[in-house]
Amino acid sequence: MNVLVINCGSSSLKYQLISSETEKVLAKGLCERIGIDGSAITHQPEGGEKVTTQVPMPDHTAAVKYVIEKLTDPEVGVVKSLDEIDAVGHRIVHGGEKFNTSVVINDEVIKAIEECNDLAPLHNPANLIGINACKKLMPNVPMVAVFDTAFHQTMPKKAFLYGLPYEYYEKYKVRRYGFHGTSHDFVSARAAEILGKKREDLKIIVCHLGNGASVTAVDHGRSIDTSMGLTPLEGLIMGTRSGDIDPAIISFIADKENISADDMINICNKKSGVLGLSGGISSDFRDLASAAESNDQKAIDALDTYAYRVAKYIGSYAMAMKGVDVIAFTAGIGENNCQMRAAICDYVTWLGTSIDPEKNAIRGEEVILSKPDDKVAIMVVPTNEELAIARETVRLVK
């Protein structure tokens, strides 16, 4: 089966066509500036060059039309016709409490996703636009929704409730949901596989450290706690997001700076994290590492604060699971940033484990960093959310 995986943002659309037999990416690409002047599609067939074409894309339907055009193009295409696209898998950010697993998309599902718009006003409406565009252009191709929140629906009440009046949970469903679920699921399953063990027998902490970042406690195969909350703003310090802060800071700064609470939330989402902490140097850890090497104190502090927060979450999840067998690092920073991994792992040696500096120098590959007889296995497991979405799509469509 060939599965088209779609990740739709408000003005962008990322796609991959994946063969389920070989699990290879046949082609991938990105439509940018949809609905804005200067829109373009960048397409790359397997083993071929990336080609960017400027094309007018007034809406997402136009973008999907160009994606199909590229995939079936006689030169850069990888299939002869639309008939060779057997299913579409959509990444959906918020499934609320309605979805604890992936589902085949029908009108009822679309309505239920719409009902979650309130919880992710920036993401879900864009995801729905992607679904509707595909429905229009490929009416006979089955589609599956894979939710970022679904894997975390196994969290117990004690982990997902906030210490707020209970009526807000009842009236507005204000609770912790967690995100990056597809990645935490994929990485924890793969970590167990690499170790030759069953995930159901292990206590695994997954650290998904990318531009957005979260830590999850996967206890015997089930997510029992995760660091993101109602929105992806809670938890770790991220590229541009603050993570956990005292909520009183919002009105305190808003009063001082004469800005609204919404403005302040925007600052917490877009201007905080290591970008804000470093005094605006960058949200990219490579830039921060170079600044830290030149003894920039704010960059050094940003990196120290980041590592400390990750370590604190690892510690609390070891307590939540009453133990830990595996700590797995993934995503851009988790897979590639050896200094950050070393800084975080420096806090966990008391658990009876440590990382081999030579193995830790490896980037972007599956590797076990700890020694075979260490009490806790520390490993790097590259994530692959698109492949996970394609697998879910095949599972449901078949």
Q: Is 365 in the site for ligand AMP (CB under 6 A)?
A: no
CA distances from 4 to 24, 84, 102, 175, 276 (A): 12, 10, 16, 33, 37
255 a catalytic residue: no
Q: Are strands 87-92 and 143-147 parallel, antiparallel or unpaired?
A: parallel
Part in contact with ligand AMP (CB under 6 A); list of ranges 189-197, 278-286, 304-312, 349-357 = 278-286
Minimum CB separation of residue 188 from ligand AMP in Å reads: 17
Q: Is 337 in the site for ligand AMP (CB under 6 A)?
A: yes
Q: Which of 84, 86, 263, 284 binds ligand AMP (CB under 6 A)?
A: 284
State the burial class of residue 102 (Cβ atoms within 10 Å of its Cβ: 0-12, 13-18, 19+): buried
Q: What is the CA radius of gyration of the chain?
A: 21
Part in contact with ligand AMP (CB under 6 A); list of ranges 51-59, 280-288, 313-321, 388-396 = 280-288
Q: Is 387 in the site for ligand AMP (CB under 6 A)?
A: no
Q: Is 276 in the site for ligand AMP (CB under 6 A)?
A: no
User: Closest Cα partner for 41 from 239, 49, 32?
Assistant: 32
Could you tell me the end-to-end alpha-carbon distance of the chain, in angstroms, rounded to an integer?
A: 10
Are 63 and 56 within 8 A, CB to CB? no
Q: Which of 118, 148, 185, 346 is catalytic?
A: 148
Annotate each residue in 292-331 with x if it binds ligand AMP (CB under 6 A) or - if it does not, as one string: ---------------------------------------x
Q: Which of 180, 332, 370, 387 binds ligand AMP (CB under 6 A)?
A: 332
Q: Is 109 in the site for ligand AMP (CB under 6 A)?
A: no
137 versus 362: smaller Cβ distance to ligand AMP: 362
Query: What is the DSSP-derived secondary structure letter of residue 178?
Result: -
Q: Which of 50, 220, 286, 398 binds ligand AMP (CB under 6 A)?
A: 286
109 versus 228: smaller Cβ distance to ligand AMP: 228
| b/e sequence 69-90, b meaning 16+ C-beta within 10 Å | ebbbeeebbbbeeeeebbbbbb
Part in contact with ligand AMP (CB under 6 A); list of ranges 20-28, 84-92, 282-290, 308-316 = 282-290
336 versus 384: smaller Cβ distance to ligand AMP: 336
Task: Name the helix (H) or strand (E) containing 273.
Answer: helix 273-277
Edge-to-edge, what's the strand order for the sheet holding 40-45? 51-54, 40-45, 25-32, 13-19, 2-8, 87-92, 143-147, 103-104
d(CA 298, CA 302) in angstroms, rounded, equals: 6
Binders in 179-238 for ligand AMP, by CB under 6 A: 210-211
List of residues contacting ligand AMP (CB under 6 A):
210-211, 239, 284-286, 331-333, 336-337, 363
Give the residue numbers annotated as catalytic, written as ranges. Answer: 148
